[in-house]
Amino acid sequence: MKILFVYPQYPDTFWSFKHALKFVSKKAAFPPLGLLTVAAMLPEQWEKKLVDMNVTRLTDTDIRWADYVFISAMVVQRDSVKEVIAWCQELGTKVVAGGPLFTTGYEEFDGVDHFVLGEAEVTLHPFLEDLKRGCARHIYVSNERPDIIKTPVPLWSLINMKSYSSMNIQYSRGCPFNCEFCDIIILNGHKPRTKDKAQLIRELEALYQQGWRGGVFIVDDNFIGNKRKLKQETLPAIIEWRKRKKRPFALSTEASINLVDDEELMRLMVDAGFGTVFIGIETPNEESLAECAKSQNQNRDLVASVKKIQNHGLEVQGGFIVGFDSDPPSIFKKQIDFIQKSGIVTAMVGLLNAPLGTRLYRRLKQENRLVKAFTGNNTDCSLNFIPKMNYETLINGYKHILETIYSPNYHYERIKTFLEEYKPQGKIAGKMQIQHIKAFFRSIWFLGIRDKGRRHYWKLFISTLLNSPRKFSVAIGLAVYGYHFRKIAENYTEG
């Protein structure tokens, strides 16, 4: 059997990091972890190829070679998905589809021969058994939440690691919280399920043996869902492993703000090589937090919480949302003020949207406020529901946030604020590589010579080099991110 794995193309968004990737000569931020994991679940004797359309072109020859095309995607890749499915139909190659996009909305896709929905540990094996017997069904689905301790190591041999800026692995699935707008609990459930420490070390070791030396993103939607296991087993195991391997990886992940309540956990994460954590801040407006049931963010000083995490040696990247029913007209200024005061340099601000199946989606449907499908990109100025705030006021206010926080003046000011709080502990993880040296010189050309914010770049360059040399590489990296954000923001706010 010949299997072609296809990962569809992402549009150009804040999350693509397209304009930052050229500084390090990379084509995509991360490889398609889901498809690589599914590949490892298929019979070893089957022939397998992978085409990541964000890295290389898909061709007629690729599709004709395969007996089946396996495709997985996020909602934001919907348009590319439909093109690939139509392409396979035209060439007569059967399509097997799974992953988040199809699990929550498979009904809208014609031309797929087999849907393998939910978690592959449950639904893939029955499909393979039926396929072997020649009686494979159209849809395989299950509500079971499998134990993931037997999930195999991804089949890394299918990709060229040099095309990516970071690798990725998964430690857990599920989140203990129940935010109204979030579809994580639909896909992965409430109760966090984790891999055991030996399994996670095998995955790190596999990357190491493939020659990877650089960033590794642990893709969990809430890495700290099971704090006790992290502190007692997982993080100590990572710490021991990375000491033996001389700290080969710089780790990053996503977590909830209650990370700040556990100083031991923050120390262990930094000791394990974590340097960055993405946190859903959402909004400084308490009424809006209550509206979306973001209980973990309520009744706390969010700016102080962010700074405390930064003080422990972790850069906080933040997600922010405007468009809640409870948002006052002043929300746009409040968001800008919060982002600047907190020193969250990588601030991903989006419009509220209602993903299919979420509690928010069901509420808005009951209120007859849904107008179209969610694009999967909450930063493209699109809404899939009728907001309580005047539509023009909301869109113009959102664009004002983007134009302001990604402008050179505000972006570089946030870098300064962050560096004042940031206290890296011990040796910074990861090793200097040629790509980093190239990126440094490209930053001088693009940001120090050609960019309209070059005055701010050189001020940051000189002050950091003289006063905080250990933070210099971090500062330049954040400046590069700002270049990408400005390019995307310009596309969204023009006109």
- The residues that bridge with 166 in the sheet, in sequence order, are 215
Share of the chain above pLDDT 90, in %: 92
Q: How would residue 491 be classed by pLDDT, with cut points 50, 70 and 90?
A: confident
* Residue 174 pLDDT > 80: yes
Q: Which two tokens stand for residue 203?
A: 């995955």
Report the amino acid identity of residue 50. Answer: L
Q: What is the pLDDT of residue 110?
A: 96
Q: What is the pLDDT of residue 426?
A: 66
Answer whether 41's CB lies under 8 Å from 129's CB: no
169: exposed, middle or buried (C-beta count within 10 Å: 0-12, 13-18, 19+)? buried
Answer whether 172's CB lies under 8 Å from 178's CB: no
Give the mean pLDDT of 74-95: 97
Question: Residues with Cβ < 8 Å from 266, sequence gap 6 or more?
Answer: 259, 260, 309, 312, 313, 314
Q: What is the mean pLDDT of the chain?
A: 95
Give the mean pLDDT of 153-160: 98
Give the mean pLDDT of 22-44: 96
Output the CA torsion sign for 31, 487, 277, 464.
Answer: positive
* Residue 494 pLDDT > 80: no
Q: Which two tokens stand for residue 275?
A: 């340097």
Cα angle 389-393-396, degrees, rounded to a multiple of 5 = 135
Share of the chain above pLDDT 70, in %: 98
Answer whether 389's CB lies under 8 Å from 279's CB: no
- The residues that bridge with 47 in the sheet, in sequence order, are 2
Q: What is the pLDDT of residue 427?
A: 58
Virtual CA dihedral for 292, 298, 304, 310, nearest 10 degrees?
-50
pLDDT one-digit tens code per residue, 261-279: 999 999 999 999 999 999 9
Q: What is the pLDDT of residue 13?
A: 87
> Which has the closest alpha carbon to 375: 132, 42, 83, 77?
77
Q: How would residue 15 be classed by pLDDT, with cut points 50, 70 and 90?
A: confident
Q: What is the pLDDT of residue 29?
A: 96
Report in angstroms the alpha-carbon separations of 429 from 85, 310, 399, 465, 479.
42, 16, 36, 19, 20
Q: What is the pLDDT of residue 429?
A: 47
Q: What is the pLDDT of residue 50?
A: 98
Give the mean pLDDT of 177-191: 93
pLDDT one-digit tens code per residue, 338-368: 999 999 999 999 999 999 999 999 999 999 9
pTM of the model: 0.95
Give the mean pLDDT of 314-321: 98
Q: What is the pLDDT of residue 431?
A: 54
Answer whether 342's CB lies under 8 Å from 410's CB: no
pLDDT one-digit tens code per residue, 206-252: 999 999 999 999 999 999 999 999 999 999 999 999 999 999 999 99
Give the mean pLDDT of 99-105: 95
pLDDT one-digit tens code per residue, 408-467: 999 999 999 999 999 998 655 445 567 778 889 999 999 999 999 999 999 999 999 999
